[in-house]
Amino acid sequence: MVNAARFFLITFLSLVSFSLFSQENAREEIMIKKPLFFSTKHTIDINGKPLHFNAIADEILLKNDDNKVIASVFSFSYIKQNKNKEVRPVIFVFNGGPGSSSIWLHLSSIAPWKVKLTPEINSSNLPPFGLEQNTDCLLDVADLVFVDPVGTGFSHIISPGTPQDFYGVDQDAESMAQFIEKWLIKNNRWNSPKFLIGESYGSQRVSVLPRALMGGVTYSGVMRGITVNGIIMLGTTLESPLKKLTSEAKSERAASLLPTLANTAWYYNKINKTLFSYEQFQEEVLAFAEKDYLNALLLDNQQKLSVTERSVIIDRLCKYTGLSRDFFSSTLEIAPKFFADSLLSKENLQIGLYDTRYNLPLEHSGNDPVADDPAMGRYVPGFTTAFRELLVSKLKIDIQDTYKTIDWKNISFQWQWSRKETKEGPDFTDDLNVVLRRTPNLKVFIAGGSYDLSTPVGYAKKTVEKANFSADRVIFREYQSGHMLYLGNTGKLFSNDVRLFILSSLK
């Protein structure tokens, strides 16, 4: 009798457990089968002509090799209402970090709406902030897809997925390639010309991503066969953080930084402008940086620079940077942070690393590299507030979860920089060269800001120069702006340049 009772109890508990297990699985299946989806219709005037488009905010689920869902990637697609959309160009847009959402480019001069900062330089970081329709956006030439990589924005990992599956150079490229592939299938856009835009770390992402999109035996292990027509990068940084710099390479970096320092000194009237025009000043600084200054740095490293030669170089540095001779008592190199703290020190001001046109009091800084940066600390609140207005009032998105703008703790600080099937510490120009060889008609548009000390334009130029790209394959543009080079009255120019690049790539 006892055994019979025990049998029935075990059977009952098993059935209850199975029922609960089945219900839990059912809940997971419901969640997986019904991804978030929001759709609205809009009209915008571009070049004086109305353009009708659909705004679609939705998630695409990523799977592992066992066909189990491991992540959700949320994106915002702006698609022109067009009968021939199957062959209309589409641009996939990424920001950087790693660990950043696409919020910055999503509210920039390429997008249908942009943040309104008043004034654009040294704007207030207190509400209210503005959101305005952007007549310079690129919807007249291509559809736009703003992508939030796993762990950013509303995108997230789903068990059994783990951070190790996504938070690394190659892992990130693979997940974004899977997302793009699924997006193309879902929207019937396989035959559309495809472009990639990446800012900051996004420039590294879009250098690697084409390899994952194509696929192959050694890199991804699967063949997707997706090629891209063009790559656009801004706030460009193409050096690997794992790369060990020689003393010669460090000297080259120091020399290539000088034009950005000089541009900033000119902006703050620390230069004797009666001696030359701005164009003459730029030419003279660049010539000095590439020859006399670089040679002096190399000799100084070898302790072969004479006292007289050193004094002459210091005089030139003072002339071009606005710094006094005292700043060069121990070294001829000028570190970005040192310059940011020193240029306006007599006025008790610190300039921004992300955009040197911004400044805040030098004293009482919390020394947070982003929150206390005079540029990022100023415009981030405007972006986050305008984005919330975009979600609610324009896109009619009802999601109560936090939109993760940037996640350093869980993503950036855990990032796996080591690569598979590549040598240790390569520049990302190696990936670009592979892609350029595979796709003879592919072209690359590289942009940088004259007032950017976080990813100085000179660093990118030097890296590109060493990569030996064909001159007809890579276009380089510099804008009178900072890291976010679409801020400060340069947005229209940048958008038009990208527009022309896309149109020329389609010929």
Summarised one tens digit per residue, pLDDT across range 29-70 is 444 558 899 999 999 999 899 999 999 999 999 999 999 999
**Distances 256 to 153, 250, 450 between C-alpha atoms, Å:** 35, 10, 12
> Helix 247-267 to helix 457-467 angle, to the nearest 10 degrees?
140
Q: What is the mean pLDDT of each run of 10 residues along the chain (507 residues)?
A: 45 43 41 80 95 97 96 98 89 97 97 92 92 96 98 97 96 98 97 98 97 90 95 94 88 96 98 94 96 95 92 96 93 96 97 97 92 95 96 95 96 92 74 94 96 95 89 93 94 97 95
Question: What is the pLDDT, as a whole number, of residue 120?
Answer: 83
Interatomic CA distance for residues 459 and 238, integer angstroms: 9
Question: What is the pLDDT, as a whole number, of residue 423?
Answer: 63
Question: What is the pLDDT, as a whole number, of residue 34?
Answer: 81
Using CB atoms within 10 A of its CB, is residue 208 exposed (0-12), middle (13-18) or buried (19+)?
buried
pTM: 0.91
Question: What is the pLDDT, as a whole number, of residue 12?
Answer: 43
Which domains, and CATH codes, for the chain? 37-241+380-505 (3.40.50.1820), 247-377 (no CATH)
Question: What is the pLDDT, as a whole number, of residue 9?
Answer: 44
Question: What is the pLDDT, as a whole number, of residue 468?
Answer: 87
Interatomic CA distance for residues 56 and 94, integer angstroms: 17
Question: What is the pLDDT, as a whole number, of residue 85?
Answer: 83
| Structure tokens given for 337 | 């942070």
Q: Which amino acid, 371?
A: A
Question: What is the pLDDT, as a whole number, of residue 320?
Answer: 97
Strands 130-133 and 230-234: unpaired
Strands 90-94 and 194-199: parallel
